[in-house]
A and B are shown apart, each in its own frame.
Chain A
Amino acid sequence: MLTERTLEKLRILAESAKYDVSCSSSGTVRGGKKGMVGNTVGGVGICHSFADDGRCISLLKVMLTNHCMFDCAYCVNRRSNDINRATLSVSEIETITMEFYRRNYIEGLFLSSGVVRNPDYTMERLTAIVRDLRLIHRFNGYIHLKAIPGASQELLNEAGRYADRMSVNIEIPKEESLKMLAPEKDHRSVFQPMNLIQQGVLENKEDRKHYRHVPRFVPAGQSTQMIVGATKDSDRDILNMSSMLYGQPSMRRVYYSGYVSVNTFDSRLPVLKQPPLVRENRLYQADWLLRFYHFKVDEIVDDLHPNLDLEIDPKLAWALRHPEAFPVDINTADYEMLLRVPGLGAKSAWLIVNSRRFNRLTTFDLKKMGVVMKKAKYFITCHELGASNLQPLLGINELTPERLRPLLVSKAEQKLAAKEAQLSLEFDPLPAPLKGGE
């Protein structure tokens, strides 16, 4: 049963789990069933609360145990780290999940664990919890389960029948960097469970074509995460990896996690006063461009620009590099081209495409619809009175990209970007043996 001691264990294990940023509870719609508790909603997931760091709390994100046999440098739970260790009992996790869910605190459970004894042993215990939740507690809400690299296919297959989403974290985009920080791991060990899950999803899809009542396997697909700023990998490496992953049919989300200095004693890692939040934000913007705005990786980053511009968002950066694509005529341009205009999002583009069937749109109309013109006005032409040959008065081609850029960067953004660029300059890791004597 739950006691005061549970309180302390939950605190320790939540603190150990919090660096895993995945939070979504969407991707699968499953209505409530008689005799079961809960449902899952699709579309925009439900975030039940927001912590002081502004990140949403949607799932009960907790580890079964933070004991771990590995010693990965970037991880707070590494073997050699001196932190409080705890293990929640199976019944404690189940009771907390059910009771939290019934009070509408959470959308479901996000369960992870340090690796104890061997991967199969750990995975078996994780699987036992999700099995109990589904079969004994009749829990019908969302379950996100970490797959333990090295666990057997049978265990992953069983876990996948109960979980909505499974994930394995890549953490470091380049294998040589990973080898440096976590000598016991390699990319193969991450991709192997990923492929097993994918195989399960595809087989399940095929089965469901033949038999209507086959239970679904990992219906919300997979996700993964990469740490940003712990190694010298460029944004190009990261985004290439993301784009490769999105090419797989079962991969739904790649998360980016700005590195928080959790292990200051390790000389292989940078000592950051503050996590690289601006860079993380730019990476998410680039991720959105890949997924919703029909961009390709080599349009966002290339040989000349291997890293994203910290001062301006990646779409604006693309636009400034390609003045020849503008101005875009709001009243005739394709939806795809509207999406490429800085400042126009999917919602604005949708509003424009719908409304222009009735009358030609003017800047005034756009403003009323709520289109943000601050950036867009330099890249578009509208239907203005008698201005067909004058317009745009001041567009990107009249101003030239070099003069336009300073107009669109605010002082605050500049300051933030400069501060962070400073941080990454300080980070120049020497090979470990050289620094060892300090």
Chain B
Amino acid sequence: MTCYSFDNTLDGLLTAVFEAFALHEQPEMLLSEGDPVPLFCDRLYAVPTDTEKAGRVWKGLEKRLPKNVVKMLAVSFLSEMHELNNPLFQYICKVFRQPEGIEGIERNFADPDILAVTNIARKVNHEQHRMKQFIRFQKAKDGTYLAVISPDHNVLPLVIDHFADRFNDQPWLIYDAKRHYGFYYDGTGEPVRITFADESSVTFNLANGRLNDEVLSDDDQLLQDLWRTYFKAICIRERLNPRKQLQDMPRRYRKYLTELY
């Protein structure tokens, strides 16, 4: 059995597809770097990532698949899930191997690889929607609005456009505490990707996303109280339904929610 291994980047995966076609072989398995090699592997090829080859594969995909499906493939990779590698690799190979004239392979959900990739992409999309729901800003003294998140998948790039469109006249910073990067928007230009050289010196608490008291703007505490009051008042006590609430607002997102402090 032939195995390829790649460096855990999308370019690496696309290069692996390129190599498979260049060498006229179909590896049964795509490993990521550091994975244990399966027992029956008689040839392991560590694919050297080549952005030019990857670009050619990506162009080919854009030619063969509808726009939304190509986007779906990119979205699925943001899941950072280990079990995505193999199905995604096989999926892309299948796209190039399907005969001329047959279209719509991306909709054959009876195929396990296509189904797996589609489902993972759906998960990522679900979580980016949750970020749009559950991101909570606090206003700092200098007028910047800050939100901290730590999503399961790397969804921050997917929601930046939404927030840049919505809050285009206020400076804000959304920081992914799990992946140690964020996007800052200064109120006029484009959001830029930022990282902190020293995370321990920031003026907010990374564990619960709260701004330190000395930098929190003056009216923010009252507004938070108003929001908490509203949150309690809007509930109809005769209809309590904690199960539904938990389903729609899972525990892992709650630590950053202002109304649940």
Contact = CB atoms under 8 A, between A and B. Distances in A.
Report whether chain A binds chain B.
yes
25 contacts: A10-B229, A11-B232, A15-B233, A15-B234, A18-B234, A18-B235, A18-B236, A19-B236, A32-B168, A39-B165, A41-B132, A49-B133, A49-B134, A51-B245, A53-B239, A54-B244, A96-B226, A105-B136, A258-B239, A260-B238, A275-B238, A354-B108, A355-B109, A358-B111, A369-B109
Contacts of B236: 18-19, 53, 55, 260, 275
Of the listed residues B115, B136, B230, the one surrounded by the most CB atoms of chain A closer than 10 A to its CB is B230
A369 B108 CA distance: 10
B237 A53 contact: yes
Given A102-B170, A103-B137, A275 B239 contact: yes
Given A37-B170, A357-B108, 20 more contacts: A2-B223, A14-B229, A14-B233, A18-B234, A32-B166, A37-B168, A38-B167, A46-B129, A51-B245, A52-B235, A55-B236, A100-B227, A102-B137, A103-B223, A258-B239, A275-B236, A351-B109, A358-B110, A358-B111, A369-B110
B41 interface: no
Contacts of A433: none
A10 B226 contact: yes
Interface of B: 104-105, 107-112, 115, 119, 129, 132-139, 145, 147, 162, 164-170, 219, 222-223, 225-227, 229-245, 248-249, 257-259
A103 B234 contact: no
Consensus secondary structure, chain A interface: loop
B66 to A, nearest CB: 13
A6 B168 contact: no
Given A14-B230, A32-B168, A46 B133 contact: yes
A134 to B, nearest CB: 15
- Identify the 8 closest CB pairs spanning chains A and B, nearest first: A54-B244, A54-B241, A14-B233, A32-B165, A354-B107, A51-B235, A358-B108, A53-B239
Contacts of B108: 354-355, 357-359
B115 A369 contact: yes
Contacts of B147: 104
A282 interface: no
Contact of A10 (B104, B230, B242): B230
A110 to B, nearest CB: 11
A31 B161 CA distance: 11
B233 A274 contact: no
Contact of A368 (B112, B167, B245): B112
Given A7-B229, A369-B115, A2 B245 contact: no
A44 interface: yes
B73 to A, nearest CB: 17
A290 interface: no
A53 B235 CA distance: 6
A34 B164 CA distance: 11
